[in-house]
Amino acid sequence: SLVGRMAQDGEIPPMASPTYGRILEIVEAAYGSIRDVRSLQKVRPPFVYVHTLAVLVHVNHILNAISFGLTMGMTTKAARAHAENSLQSQLPQLVSSLFMQF
């Protein structure tokens, strides 16, 4: 094995040392974890769940785009409005709402 060859080459402590045993324990735990990840990868999520999640994400993006567009339009109108316009007094709140959309 690679670990045995490394011990013979002097890259890690020799096989008789307790450190070598600990290294083998760590390697076995890592190999077991890799096997666990590979077995989890073989389990496929249900088709309906994946598509439902995709639809929810797309709807969320569409609603966020509409909300951002409305907020951007109101902020632009308030910024370009005259002083007597009621939106002019709400400009700081609209600008903060615009940045919270991100």
Element containing residue 54 per DSSP (H, E): helix 47-80
pLDDT category of residue 88 using cuts at 50, 70 and 90? low
Which residue shows structure tokens 């959309």? 101
Confidence band of 15 (pLDDT split at 50, 70, 90): confident
- The pLDDT score that the predictor gives to residue 85 is 63
Dihedral Cα 65, 67, 72, 73, nearest 10 deg: 110
